[in-house]
Amino acid sequence: MSAVIDAIRTRRARRAFSAASVPPDVERALWEAVRLAPSHGNAQPTRILVARSPETRAALIDALSPGNRNWAPAAPLLCAVAALPSVDYTAENFDGTSRELWAFHAGLATGNLLVQATAMGLVAHPMASFDEPTARRAFGAPEELRILAIVAIGYPGDPASLPDDLRAKEEAPQWRLPLDIIVAEDRWRDENAIGARAWRQQHAQA
């Protein structure tokens, strides 16, 4: 029980990686955590694309934003989390309008991946700042495949290996909105709708 909340609590999107590679059985446990994630109707739309060869790695790194290219190439394992909307179900409202579920499903699977990675002593840092068409091309994937995140995975390294600005991010305390903002009991309150940045600005003076 506490191992799970410990993994959730200690997970950080770190940027410093050691040179140690991820052993195959450890890597396999990550994909297994993804594989076991639930999905509506058991549709299982989530896929993992692993950049194994130097060529695929280079092509995937080209998809990253310049900021992410400053640190992510040091990770020994790079992958993309993707979803296939075409094989997923949609959910229907009573009036017949429908809601897509593939991004939510891929998020659920990524949640499993991050918790499992942390529990095995790995850093798994998901990135949203990338060019989706370039990432797709790195793997020769079709347009119907939607890429939700590129994840840099490896063992934690020495923050001193990072440039100053990134080292500062690495060591900044993690912060989250208080529970009474993210949880509404029975009635939605105006306070529940505040954004993280706005909340932090309001509380910086306090």
191 counts as binding a second copy under rule CB under 8 A: no
Binding to a second copy, residues 113-152 (CB under 8 A): 114-116, 119-121, 126, 128-134, 139-142, 144-145, 148-149
Stretch that binds a second copy, among 14-22, 69-77, 88-96, 159-167 (CB under 8 A): 88-96
Question: Applying CB under 8 A, which part among 17-25, 38-46, 70-78, 154-162 lies near a second copy?
Answer: 38-46
3-state SS of 160-171 is HHCCHHHHHHHH
Q: Smallest gap, in angstroms, from Cβ of residue 91 to a second copy?
A: 4
Binding range to a second copy, per CB under 8 A, among 16-24, 69-77, 157-165, 188-196: 188-196
With CA atoms as reference, report the closest residue to 82 among 57, 129, 48, 105: 48
Contact pattern for a second copy over residues 2 through 31, marking x by CB under 8 A: -xxx-xxx-x-x--------------xx-x
Contact 50, 113 (CB under 8 A): no
For a second copy, the closer CB: 74 or 177:
177
Instruction: Please tell me whether residue 42 binds a second copy under the rule CB under 8 A.
Output: yes
CB-CB contact of 12 with 121 (8 Å): no
Residue with tokens 């950049």: 51
Q: How many residues bind a second copy (CB under 8 A)?
A: 95
Binding residue for a second copy, selected from 14, 16, 22, 51, defined by CB under 8 A? 51
Judging by DSSP bridges, how do beta strands 146-154 and 90-92 pair with one another? unpaired
26: left (phi over 0), alpha (psi -120 to 50) or beta: alpha
Single-letter amino acid code for the residue at 60: L
Residue pair 82/46 in contact by the 8 Å Cβ criterion: yes
User: Which pair of structure tokens corresponds to residue 109?
Assistant: 């699977």
Q: Which residues contact 202 (CB under 8 A, 6 or more apart)?
A: 194
Binding to a second copy by CB under 8 A, coded x per residue (else -) over 168-187, reads -------xxx-x--xxxxxx
Q: Report the residue from 22, 34, 61, 151 that binds a second copy according to the rule CB under 8 A.
A: 34
